[in-house]
Structure 1
Amino acid sequence: MVSKPDFFAGTGEDQFRPELQVESPEGELHLRFFIPSHQEFALLATGIREVIELSPDRITPIPNASPLLLGTLNLRGRVIWVADLGQFLGDTTVLNTDRAEISVIAIEEQDTIVGLAVEEIGGMDWLDVQNLVAPMNIPDTMAPFLRGEWKLNTGQHQCLRLLDQTAILRSARWAG
C-alpha cells in the first residue's frame, strides 16, 4: 500500500509543474547523417529498417559490380547490397573503408532493402517537412533523389537535405 503523500495527485500548482510537461514534437522523425564530403542529409525514419555499425570485413566485395557498390551484407539471414551513398549521389569524395566501423543505413520499401554506407550518423530529429525549400546549387546527379532542404544557418549557407528513399531504391543507377 502506498502511504507517501508524494504519490498522490496534488491540487493547484503542483499538478502543472513545467518540468513534468512534455512538448509534443513538430513534424516527422528523421535520421540525420553525413557523407564523406561533410554534406548533411536526412531520411524519414519510417523508411529505415535499421542502422548498423559494422566492421568493413562484414561487407563482401562482389567482382564486376557497379563501382557504387561496396559489396553485400548478410542482414539477419538476408543478403543486401551496400552502396557508398556519397558516390551514389555523385559526390567525388570516396567513403574511407579503412577504419574499425562503417555506418550503414538499411532503407526499405515493400520487399526491397539496400544498405547505404555513410561517413557518420548525426542522430534523430523531429523535422517539419512544411519548412522544406527547393534545393539550391545542387549537382544534377543528386537532384532526382532530393525532396528539398532545410536552411540551418543562412549566414554560412548550411543546409540539411532530405533524401527520397523511394527514388534511391528505384534508381536505374543500380544497374551499373
Structure 2
Amino acid sequence: MVLNLDFLTSDDAPNTNDVSAGSQDGELCLRFDVPSGNEFALPASGVREVMSVYLDRITPIPNASPFLLGTYNWRGQVIWVADIGQFLGDLVLVNTDQNEVAVLIVEEQELVMGFAVRAVANTEWLDVDRMLAPDAHIPAAMSGFIKGVYPSTVAEAPPLHLLDRVAILRSSHWTL
C-alpha cells in the first residue's frame, strides 16, 4: 500500500512545532517519528516513496546488523529495510508484532534503502535560518547523522532533528 502525501502540503495541515511559519522558504522536508517519540525530518528530495509494508514481505537476513529488519522487493529491486530509530541510538524498537510498518524509501545516487518508522507526520518547509547546530545533548550514536535541530515551541515537546541522508546511507554501520 502506498501512502498519498499530497494532502499534507496544504496550508490546513497542523503545524505542531511551528518551525516553518507557513512559508515556502527553506527546504521541503518529510517529518516522521520513531517509536521512542523522537521527531526527525529528511529533505524530501531524497525520499522516493512512503509506503506501508506488510512485515511478512520483509525477509529477515541471519547475522545481519541488529537494526536491519531484512530485505524487501521494491519495484523489482531488493533493498535493505532498517529500523532508523534503532540505527540512531533509540532504545525503543519498531513494533514488529503488527501487520504493517511505515517505510520511507530513501535514495542517494545508486544507494536505495528503506527506513522503518513509527509514523509519518507531514511535509513542511523548514526555514534553514531557524535551524540550530547539533549540540552536546544529542546522543553519540546520532551525532554524525544530524544536520541541525529545530527547537520545539511547544512545552515539553521533543526538538525536530534534520537528518543527513547521505551520511546515513554511506555509514560504515551498515556493514555486516
TM-score range, shorter chain: 0.7 to 0.9
Distance (whole Å) between structure 2 residues aligned to residue 39 and residue 166 of structure 1: 20
TM-score by length of 2: 0.83
Q: Deviations over 1:84-120 (max 9, x none)?
A: 0011001111111111220111110111101110011
Give the aligned partner of residue 173 of structure 1. 173
**Compared CA separation, residues 78 and 139, structure 1 to 2 (3 A):** same
**Compared CA separation, residues 156 and 51, structure 1 to 2 (3 A):** same
Residue 115 of structure 1 aligns with an amino acid whose one-letter code is: G
Residue 97 of structure 1 aligns with an amino acid whose one-letter code is: T
Q: Deviations over 1:4-45 (max 9, x none)?
A: xxxxxxxxxxxxxxxxxxx86222210000011000000000
Q: Which runs of 5+ in 1 are unaligned?
A: 1-22
CA contact (8 A) 2:35 2:118 kept: yes
Residue 99 of structure 2 aligns with an amino acid whose one-letter code is: A
User: Based on CA coordinates, which of the two structures has the bigger radius of gyration?
Assistant: 1
Distance (whole Å) between structure 2 residues aligned to residue 68 and residue 47 of structure 1: 21
Distance (whole Å) between structure 1 residues aligned to residue 154 and residue 122 of structure 2: 22
RMSD of aligned C-alpha atoms?
1.4
Distance (whole Å) between structure 1 residues aligned to residue 173 and residue 23 of structure 2: 39
Give the aligned partner of residue 30 of structure 2. 31
Give the aligned partner of residue 131 of structure 2. 132
- 1:161 is paired with a residue of what secondary structure? strand
Distance (whole Å) between structure 1 residues aligned to residue 25 and residue 156 of structure 2: 25
Distance (whole Å) between structure 2 residues aligned to residue 99 and residue 155 of structure 1: 31
Q: Give the percent of matched residue pairs that are identical in Structure 1 and Structure 2.
A: 52
Map of 1:6-155 to 2, 5 A cutoff? Answer: 25-136=24-135, 137-153=137-153, 155=155
Residue 35 of structure 1 aligns with an amino acid whose one-letter code is: V
CA contact (8 A) 2:23 2:125 kept: no
TM-score by length of 1: 0.83
- 2:152 is paired with a residue of what secondary structure? strand
What is the Cα deviation at residue 154 of structure 1?
6.2
What is the Cα deviation at residue 145 of structure 1?
0.2
What is the Cα deviation at residue 157 of structure 1?
5.5
Distance (whole Å) between structure 1 residues aligned to residue 145 and residue 84 of structure 2: 11
Give the aligned partner of residue 158 of structure 1. 158
- 2:62 is paired with a residue of what secondary structure? coil
**Compared CA separation, residues 155 and 117, structure 1 to 2 (3 A):** same
- Larger RCO, structure (CA 8 Å, separation 6 or more): 2
Residue 116 of structure 2 aligns with an amino acid whose one-letter code is: A
Residue 121 of structure 1 aligns with an amino acid whose one-letter code is: V
- 1:156 is paired with a residue of what secondary structure? coil
CA contact (8 A) 2:27 2:125 kept: yes
Judge which range, 161-170 or 150-159, deviates more: 150-159
